[in-house]
Each structure stands twice: as C-alpha cells, then as structure tokens.
Structure 1
C-alpha cells in the first residue's frame, strides 16, 4: 500500500477520535509559539496557523469547529506562557482553558468561510474577515485583568524591518492582521484549487501593500544622540539579597565615571527601601550621580506613601540627582495578575499557596508621568515598569505627552532560564517602532536591550548570564508616526468588518428563510417536496463537485 494512503488512513483515525482530534487541536494551536523568542523562528509565524485552520475547516459541525477553536486557543496560550508554570503551577492550565474560549467563535468563523465551495469573492472575504476575528481575540485578552497583551502574534515579528514599519502605521495590531491573513491565504491555496489564482493575488497584494508602507510611511527624523547607561547587577539570591543587589549596582555605577553620560538606568525593584524614609539610601545614590555626572533612574519596590496620602507597597520609578531626590516619581499603574495582586483575593487568595503569587497586593499609580533629568540637556523620558511595556497604548500616551525616550525597568528573574526574558526584551522593538522613539529596556538579571526609533537594536544586549553595566549611544528622533497620530485604528476597522460580515450573513439568512421551496425539491429527511414526488432528479456533475467540496474533510 502506498505510504501516502497509509499516512492518510492513520491521520483519519487520529482525527476521527475525539481524544486524538483534541490533542491535534492543542498541538496545532501551540505551533505559533515557535516564532517568539527563545526559538525566534519569526518566519514560521506566516505558516504556523495553517494546520489549525485546516483542522477547523475539516470539522463536520459548527460545534466541532468551535471546540477545535477553543482547544487551539488553549494550546496557543499554554505554549506562549508556559514559563509561568513555576509561579502558577497547574493554575496556568485553568487560565489557558478559560482564555481559550475566546477562540471558539473564531472557530465558527473559520469554518463558515473556509468550508464549502470557495469562490474568488469567498477567498477575499476569508483573507479579510478571519484575521479580523483573530484581532478581536487579541483585543479582548489584552485587558490587564486577563493577563495583558503578552504573546500577540504580531509581536513575533519584532526583528523584521518591514513588519516594524507596519507597526509604525497601525501598531502591533496591523502586524497581527498581516500574519493571520498570510496564513489564511496559504490555507486556501491548499484546499481550494478553483480559487488559487485569487489566493495568490491576495498574497501579492499584501506584499505590495507592505512595500508601499515601507516606501511612503513617515519615518522619524534623527535628532541627536543620548548616552544612556544600563546597570544590570545579575542574579543575586539568598539572605540579604536586596542589600547585596544594591551594593552590586553601586559598584557597577561607579565603573561608569568619566563616560560622559546623560542618564543611568537601574532595573525594576533595584531599591528595596523608601528613599524618603531612608535618607541614607538616597544619599548613596546621589553620591553616585555626582560621581558619574548624570541622574540615576532607580526603581523602588517598598512600602511608600504617594502624593494623595495612600500608604502601601508601590513599584516606582524614582529619579535621583546630585542633590538627592528630584521630585520625579512614577508609580506603576498596571499590575501583573497573581504576580503583584490577587484578583478577588477573598475568593482566590488560596493561589498564594500554589506558587509565587503576591502575598500582599501592590497599589496602583494614578497616571503616566514624564520626567526631564536636569543633567540630560532637556531630554524628556517616559518611564514604564515591567509588564507595562507590553501595552501599546501606554507608550503611545507617553509619546504624545512629549517623551523623547521610553524606558522600561523590568525584572524577569523568576523566569531566568525560560523564554520570558527574551520575549520581554523583544517588546521594546515594537514600542520603539510604533512611536518613533528609542526605548531602553533595563532589567536586574537580563535581558537588557536598547532599540532605536525604528525598532532597530542598538549595541549588544546584556544577557541573562551577565552582571555588568553598558553605555549606549541612543539615537533620538523627532516627528510622529501614523500610529501615534491615529492610535489603534486597526482594532476599530476589524470591529467594523466583523459587524458588516455579521449583518450580511444575518440578512442572507433572513432572505433564505423567506424564499419559497422549489417545486419537487427533496426535503432534508429525504421525503418528497410539496408536489409529493418521490423521484430525485439526477445529480449533475456540478452538483457532484459541490457535494464533494462541502463534505467534511
């Protein structure tokens, strides 16, 4: 027996089994994770969704298509966030299953557009509507309470210059649309021979559109260079780790003396005491500022009191100059669920016994802040703390508020040997390209990296095995990108497309119910139509082809 027939027979047995099909959906959904760091197979993103699309297309019922979509989404969330296992343990499976439900309607959408006779118009509709459905999933799960916009499909293209140019026009959302559109067109190429010419034409049109963006989209204009130092103390564990980390950061900062700096940046939680209540700590940082000739942006993770009188644990970016505190402080606004607070703690507080969930909820800041370090020649900076670099709207707000340099202070030491540090650092490239502003991603333990205003990497990153300090000549820019001007327009466009599609389908369904049944038509049960005839008309070749096309694959 030919090997191809044997392979199809085994494949049919696996997909015919509910358990086997479910496993296939989980695996197919997980494939796009290989496009993200650490594997970093960015090109794989453009084909990684094809197996899931084909699997959903083969579903015999809408219920099966929705289930395939759900399991595929759960597989995607598990694969992209698998490094959370040390913190959440088995709870990550529950979260993935819950978030995977967002893909169930998408499964129905894919089944509706990819099954059955595929005309040229259907190809165009599928290549537009299916990506819009995916983008709605990304929009909903980007809410902070659901984990935030980590693992957006477009973020896998962080090192691809044409994709970064697209991000400057429509943010990471526009890149996600492109990636899913290419996958959809490829799936149609494989399953719709009669419409292959149209599928190829859509791929060519997409390539032309990306080329046009590359040529005509506004580019940030060069506007000087800032010398920024990043201090990364590295992994320091055991008793007294907070004090020893601070001492190591001091030592590394001293090594920067005489380097003609504009700013020194420490990572998240680099200071474990309130500098207002601990003037000795402030004095030590101020002495470093005088030594290197630049202000120091530290990050305080301690019990503090904010401007409104609230007292609690804040994570704060604090600027310290030669004379001490400058008065510039930004309190982290968006907190990591379970990592920095427990949602509905009264009901879910038991999660603290299962992993590294927050024992006490951190308090939120009240608004974004821009700072102008006195010694940085008028350079206005926009600080973010860790998780916040994943949110496109936050860096866009800082850019609109006048920030010329975006800074993210981060720590992924809890996930030091997983994919998280690389994934987190890569987000800086997207934020830089979206806003036409350079971005510094400074961490405690790596990966620390710097990106120019077009998302290009500046210098060499500090990896997870590094304890050291590095100075970067960061190119500055002026002007605004289309994304800064127009905002998240791809989200609104996708919502409009889906609304129009639903309206069209609803109208067609209403018209279909209102049409009289043809005389002599065979009823669904196989009985005669209104004329009572028991004869079934001979099937024409065209009808035979349509039946074969619409049968479950």
Structure 2
C-alpha cells in the first residue's frame, strides 16, 4: 500500500504527469450534462481535480493545474463545436481556461498541506465562491455565455430545481462545488474531517430546508401551445422546402384548439417586408388553424441595414407588429468578436462571414386581447442567460418561449444540452418554457421545471400540441436576483482583505 502511494506521489511530482491528469480531471464533470446526463456525477466529479490541485508543490503549479483543468472542462462541454471551429476551439479553451487559474491557487491556499478545522471550514465557502466567480465571468456574452454552468447539469433533479427557484442556477452550482470540496477534504485531510463532515451536513440540511419550506407556484390554468419541428430539410436555411414543410405541419393542427403555434429559429429565411406572398401564406395559416403564429425570420431587413434574427408574431391579418430582435448573439456563430483581430477564424472554421445585428430591448408579446396571454420570446442561445428570462417575467411574461436551431450540431450533445435549459429557466422563474427547434430537441417545461408532454427528438419531423400549465406568484429568485453571486463576492472580498493583512504583518514579524 505504501509503495502504491509512493508511486502516485512520484507521478504527481512530474509536471508532465500532472498536466496529463489535470486535463481529464477537469473534463470529468462534462459527463453530468446531456446527452450522458449522469447528473449524480456532478456531486463527486470535481474531487479528483481538487485533490490534484491541493497536492501542487507551489501556488504557481496549482494555478497551472487549474488552468489546464479549466481548458479540459471547456473542451469536453463544447466538444461539439470542433467541426465548426476546428483548431480555433483549442485556442478558445486555452484562453478561457485561464479563468480557473486563480481558482486553482485558491484551492491550494485553503486545502493544501495540513489545514486545521477553521481553514477547512473556510474552504467550504471560499472554493465554491471562487468557482462561482469563474462561472460569472465566463457567462459574459462576449466570452461565450453561460453554457455548461455546473448547476445546469441538475435540470432533471426536482430538489435542485427547487433550489434554482430560490437562488437560480448559481445556488445549485455553489452547493455542488461545496459538496465536492467537503468530500475532497474528507479524503485528504484527516485532521479536518470533523469540519468536512459538518460542511456536508450543512449542505444536506440547506437542500432539505429548501425542499421542505421553499414556496411553490400557484396554479393559473393552462394554455394550448403547438410546436412545429420540420426536421432536417435539404435546401439550406433560405430554402423553400423548409417553409413548405412547416406550412404542411401547421395545417395538421387545424381543429385542435391551439392558442399559439411556435416555429423554430430561422424558420423563415426571407424578410416578410420583402415577401408579401409569404406574409399572405402565414396569415392564411393563422386563419386556418385559428391561432397566431410565432415565426422566426433570419434575413436582411427590408427597412434597416444588416441581418437580424427576429421573432415575429403573425395573426389572421398578417404580422401584428410585435417583433423581437435577438440581442445576445453567438460568438463566432453569428458574429466575430474583434473581427479585425480574429477574422482569420473564418478561414479555419464556419465562423460568421458577416456579423448579425443586435436588438435593443426585450419584448413581451400578447395574444387574446387585453386580458390574454403575455409571453416573452428568446432566440436560441439566449435561453442560457438567467437574467434574460428573469427580466421578461418581471415585465409580466406568463410564458417563456425559446426559438432555437441546432441543426449544425445534429448528431452531438448540443441539442439535448440546449433543451435541458428550458427546465432550469422555468424552475427559476415559475413560468413554463417552450423550447421550439427546427430539427430537435423540442421540449416544454412546466413552472416547477417538470417535463410537459413528450419531447421531439432530432429524428422527428412533426408538430405537437402541449397543454402547458400556467402559474401565479413570483419566485424568490425573480424577486431577489443573483444573491448567491453577491454572497460569493463578499466572501472572497473578506478573504482577500485577510490575506492582505497577513501579508502586511509578515515583514514586521520577520524584522522583530
């Protein structure tokens, strides 16, 4: 046994072996996300990475282990981008992985060596707080947005969804990292096992308290929503064949009493201002079905320069005037950040040849008159942003709708990952969410994040009708916002202040 432990220590003493361990250790949590959906793995997946970092001989080496693990995590979670970005994804992972370097230093500072009970207890708050700061910074839309936040891996776990209604995805991430930190301390720090066990019990008690006492949304009736998913259609985004298939599937909804028909992102490839024939066909569909259509136009605008992705509501008389232009665009997919510097990415991958234009403000639309249903549209990538859905609910939205298209990544984990976000956004806001796509996965989540009806997989070309439960009331998260983030910032500020005081006093002691 001693020889085995000594062998591992010798391996970890090699910088090359450490680097080889750091990459897969950081990548391991990706298996908790769809499509594998090994959600339970998230509670232990960080432990190998934490144990590696705490064993680093120096703070600089710990920061490097954090960087390499962060790059491994990003590559694993976003591996489906490889066909589009090619070698550029390695550059992005390396750059964004740097965000975990300070976290690596923090892990070693609080868990390295033989810390006592007090330091270990502090680590149970500081290590998750540091992780939350990484998630916050990388959630900035210009750095790729909040895709793959650790808490999002729990989209199908009812107690975790209840936590999200109180503190958003941030609270779920915090508790997951706290549990991993406690387990790592339990394994590696015999002197601090009491603190580690106490910390794990606190996490369990916090989760249990939220499950038992957190408020729940009240029932407010149902609304009948139809989703049209044409599937993979040859002929490109602007092709007539896709529109024809969407029209055919929509006609099948006649007589089914739907209140709204939702098409996916880029479902209309020509601006309706330029195509009166398409306007007329959509209006005729609305009359035939007896419900308005929410379509998504991806085209150069007739009256404004540039290409927009716009959610457009069409009634029996044509477009109603309700239009939402996508505000948060996909880096490289819909625009190239700092194109003058990074424009070369278009030559090695499928980066956007022309930047899309951004919308200026969110929009809450209404159907059914003054007392009718109010809903807030989001376009694709925007469903990953907790603040956008929260803002729409605060503006009065009773239903959230995400129009998406992941056909470029049809046979990857991306469609399942994207669809899973509907449950999380619904649970956070107490508002049901419809996730409608061109080629799957389309899904509907109720106000507690529960699945409503069946999902339309990537192999389906169909229309489906959902009786979507509505809810009344305001969730704690909608009322209070990102309080776990502010708490994490406060904890780290106190730690930094204490470290500054300690560093200031050391020279004085040395002189004495």
Bucket of the pairwise TM-score, normalised by the shorter protein: over 0.9
Task: Output one character per residue of 1:230-265: Cα deviation in whole Å (capped at 9) or x when no partner.
Answer: 000001124686211110000100111111111000
Q: Distance in 1 between matches of 2:510 and 2:170?
A: 45
Indicate which of 170, 174, 192 corresponds to 1:173: 170
Equivalent residues of 2:262, 2:294 under 8 A apart: yes
Q: How does 1:285-434 map to 2 (within 5 A)?
A: 285-305=282-302, 310-374=304-368, 378-434=372-428
Q: Distance in 1 between matches of 2:124 and 2:385?
A: 27
Q: Distance in 2 between matches of 1:512 and 1:160?
A: 48
Indicate which of 221, 226, 249 corresponds to 1:224: 221
1:465 paired to 2:462: no
TM-score by length of 2: 0.98
Equivalent residues of 2:223, 2:470 under 8 A apart: yes
Q: Distance in 1 between matches of 2:75 and 2:370?
A: 43
State the partner residue of 1:126: 123
Equivalent residues of 2:220, 2:469 under 8 A apart: yes
Task: Output one character per residue of 1:55-79: Cα deviation in whole Å (capped at 9) or x when no partner.
Answer: 0011001111111011011101111
Q: Distance in 1 between matches of 2:416 and 2:167?
A: 24
Indicate which of 467, 481, 488 corresponds to 2:482: 488
Task: Output one character per residue of 1:402-424: Cα deviation in whole Å (capped at 9) or x when no partner.
Answer: 00000000000000000000000
Equivalent residues of 2:235, 2:241 under 8 A apart: no
State the partner residue of 1:35: 32
Deviation at 1:6, TM superposition (A): 5.6
State the partner residue of 2:251: 254
State the partner residue of 2:159: 162
Where 2:367 maps in the other structure, the secondary structure is: coil
Q: Distance in 2 between matches of 1:509 and 1:390?
A: 40
More displaced stretch, 337-346 vs 407-416: 337-346
Where 1:224 maps in the other structure, the secondary structure is: strand
Deviation at 1:126, TM superposition (A): 0.5
Where 2:344 maps in the other structure, the secondary structure is: helix
State the partner residue of 1:266: 263
Alpha carbons of structure 1 residues 31 and 22: separation in structure 2 relative to 1, 3 Å: same
Deviation at 1:20, TM superposition (A): 1.7
Deviation at 1:442, TM superposition (A): 0.2
More displaced stretch, 509-518 vs 435-444: 509-518
Deviation at 1:375, TM superposition (A): 6.9
Where 2:269 maps in the other structure, the secondary structure is: coil
Deviation at 1:149, TM superposition (A): 0.3
Give unmatched runs, 5+ long, in structure 2: none
State the partner residue of 2:432: 438
Equivalent residues of 1:262, 1:375 under 8 A apart: no
Where 1:53 maps in the other structure, the secondary structure is: helix
Equivalent residues of 2:165, 2:476 under 8 A apart: yes
Equivalent residues of 2:328, 2:382 under 8 A apart: yes
Q: Distance in 1 between matches of 2:9 and 2:491?
A: 35
Indicate which of 185, 197, 200 corresponds to 1:188: 185
State the partner residue of 1:542: none
Deviation at 1:507, TM superposition (A): 1.2
Q: Distance in 1 between matches of 2:244 and 2:369?
A: 24
Give unmatched runs, 5+ long, in structure 1: 519-553
Q: Distance in 2 between matches of 1:160 and 1:479?
A: 22
1:61 paired to 2:42: no
Indicate which of 84, 88, 102 corresponds to 1:105: 102
State the partner residue of 1:115: 112
Deviation at 1:344, TM superposition (A): 1.6
Cα root mean square deviation, aligned? 1.5
Where 1:403 maps in the other structure, the secondary structure is: coil
Task: Output one character per residue of 1:34-91: Cα deviation in whole Å (capped at 9) or x when no partner.
Answer: 0000110000001000001000011001111111011011101111000000110010
Where 1:339 maps in the other structure, the secondary structure is: coil
Task: Output one character per residue of 1:360-400: Cα deviation in whole Å (capped at 9) or x when no partner.
Answer: 11000010000002379600010000000000000001000
Q: Distance in 2 between matches of 1:97 and 1:280?
A: 49
Bigger Rg, which one: 1
Task: Output one character per residue of 1:300-322: Cα deviation in whole Å (capped at 9) or x when no partner.
Answer: 000115xxx63211000000001
Count of residues paired in the alignment:
512
Deviation at 1:493, TM superposition (A): 1.0
Indicate which of 51, 68, 76 corresponds to 1:79: 76
Q: Distance in 1 between matches of 2:120 and 2:510?
A: 29
State the partner residue of 1:24: 21
State the partner residue of 1:541: none
TM-score by length of 1: 0.90
Q: Distance in 2 between matches of 1:280 and 1:362?
A: 25
Task: Output one character per residue of 1:85-141: Cα deviation in whole Å (capped at 9) or x when no partner.
Answer: 011001000000000111111111000000123222122100000000000000000
Where 2:307 maps in the other structure, the secondary structure is: strand
Task: Output one character per residue of 1:459-502: Cα deviation in whole Å (capped at 9) or x when no partner.
Answer: 11100011001100100001101110111111111111000011
Deviation at 1:206, TM superposition (A): 1.1
Q: Distance in 2 between matches of 1:342 and 1:23?
A: 32
Indicate which of 418, 433, 448 corresponds to 1:454: 448
